[in-house]
Structure 1
């Protein structure tokens, strides 16, 4: 029976409310899933979560701040992302004072959710921006992290390869606010990000986009999250102090965060291992679930 993604639970965390839900045995070791930029928790597909929970974990997914059903920080205003990006590309660091919040705040949100659920330590799994947030959690709150899995994420170092032009374009193009326009746009975005031919996934894209639309769009939140990424800068040097057992998972055809970015994370975290998924872009199509879930579960077992 499919869960109703419009009726999650809510927890107070770091001064805001986060929408979340859980899968599996409440007494099992907790595993927190963190999604990426402007992406709701339902992008962690229910069947993916159930399969991961079936490996012996209490799987928790949630909407980051400013997305889905979690608190929207509308009073913070909309940052000038183009200006911030231009500043960063010119080699001028963007300070935290220039943006409503940073990835460090979002990391603290996630730890606040663990607090609300009475969880002392959890396995942390993040995808894309969620992987960067996971890195921040492990750096800022090392005692709360059993293991870390960083999926299709970067250290944020400025000398790493940039996104492919088409992927960067979909990242920066405004989101349509009407249902049909949004669905068509998401179909285009996912086709670009997945890379290659995935007809089975493409057949599901419209329904997935409609679910996100029904839960609510928030383009201003997307802009604030993107500004948070820009202002958070590079974690490369700090990664040397990361203590949690770390696994890096990356696709070899990722058009948005090239695989060299994942290799950079693995190279700078002491003892980190890397799993490369052949044919995977910047998404988790069903064909990747088995190797990704095997990697996550196997790594978590090693870190118990």
Structure 2
């Protein structure tokens, strides 16, 4: 449930530098209101992933979709989620007489695996263990080309200009003097892409560890403290120690915990953080409007 300090779940992935867009994961009640107090622009939202169909991850969706129209959003939006999502969205829009000014693509998830891939990103999903069908998402930035070795080109008297741009892309170029040079021969080591894993509600499970393997950042629910382990298991939720175990065993660099029970108010949330840090030192508790920068690997 929401509290005075924390709203229900919605997470934004800022991809303005990479593709000029935002991706959202989940859309709990009040998400569009929260967005008004954040840098996120609905019109620049490209994808929205729904982990599962419980209300605290879903009830903000009809309002967000229609507000995107009112705010001038006219680019396509793709919505991913479990079976039943299409019925929920279409019913809400039809009954309320809503009209969208943009194309909405609905993708219902039937299988685990890759659900999106282009030249720069890949998204993989796997099932988690919760009371209803629930997914986690592994968002992979593909490796970037290495730096162009300008000095090496100068040694070969290759004139600066558009040619350098072609070589940076790895293309083969023929010079005016007849020489042919290959871009791959003039690039430094590739820059590894970053990996962000955002899970829906889940108890400790293999699906979560599978998605989180080697991730730069793992976003994991931590509904309860460790003294509520039996309660967490009974309701298919995780404790802060469960989240930390998953991060540690999967080799994830950073753990960010979300989805805290409303019983933890004020300083009591620090108990969850302390428990996680005993297992995985690089652990954090997300707060509303908090952001975490993921630097490129060098």
TM-score category of the 2 structures, normalised to the smaller one: 0.3 to 0.5
Greater strand share, structure number: 2
Superposition TM-score, scaled by structure 2 size: 0.33
Greater helix share, structure number: 1
The higher relative CO (CA closer than 8 Å, separation ≥ 6) is in 1
